[in-house]
Structure 1
Amino acid sequence: MNEQVAEQVAPLVPENSNREKPASNVQRVIPAPFPQRLVKQKKADQYKKFMEILRQIQLNIPLMDALREIPGYAKMMKDLMSRKFDFQDLSNVTLKQTCSAVVAKPIAQKVSDPGSFTIPCTIVSYAFAKALCDLGASINLMSLAVYTKLGIGRARPTSMLLQLADHTVKRPTGILDDVLVQVGKFVFPADFVILDCQVDKRYPLF
């Protein structure tokens, strides 16, 4: 009887209570000591890939529409055009004939101001070594002293008023029509406005 009670009181111990749990397979990730270097290298690889795609792309749609289709490359294109990204180390891009003609077009060399544009001319028997040519002027001026010296006809009166470069207003003496002016081997008829002004010995006609 006692043996039966002892058997009933004895605690029940599970068979697998003493077994050890299996070790976890989780691996610890060690962070990089300089993460900026990895980001910079990744960005450089992206730019290199972007340049390779840019060489192969052929656009049949507007550029803005293409950038909307590839928003990931929009910032790269912006950095490329603003020269934030140096692509000198990359290989050369072969241009087509039309692009090469635009790039190879020579730029006009900047030179100094050549000064006043003058030509020699002859009126009657008087030769003028330097007659000032103003390509923007609508009239030809002759000083009253030169007109008196030439003695070629009578100038018709006029009510014209001339505003000079210094904003002063002067009334001409008259207008001399159809004066034959010889330039080289060519002869041209020209109308001169006679103005009473000081004569410039360098440019008697202007």
Structure 2
Amino acid sequence: MFDPDKQKRDEVDLINFLNLFKTLNVNLLLLELIDEILKYAKYLKEFMACYKKVKKGEQIDIDALCSTFIAKKKPPKLKDLGSFMIPIEIRDQYFNKALCDLGVSINLIPLSIYQKFTLEN
């Protein structure tokens, strides 16, 4: 679910982090800085993944991670495909549409298939 408040907080955190990062002093060890501000570690990781020295006016290709980070948009959700059917043969009986076993521990068999076999309790 989309939470505009969280996105706004994340944007503020990112701005604060970038402002703090701009004031980084050479005398301060980077590891100590990251240790003190662990909540900014994810922004640093994303920033460093996208960072590359670019000459002024140079065009660069942006990968999916950086593109999503810059555009701040989420990929579209896909609908659930539901269960799928596969053909199966049991003994000499052929069933064109049988449910695929996904490993769940619920064992069901359609009544029409049950009636084709002479099963006893």
TM-score bin, normalised by smaller chain = 0.3 to 0.5
- Greater strand proportion: 1
Pick the structure with greater CA Rg. 1
Larger RCO, structure (CA 8 Å, separation 6 or more):
1
Return the TM-score normalized by structure 2. Answer: 0.38
Return the TM-score normalized by structure 1. Answer: 0.26
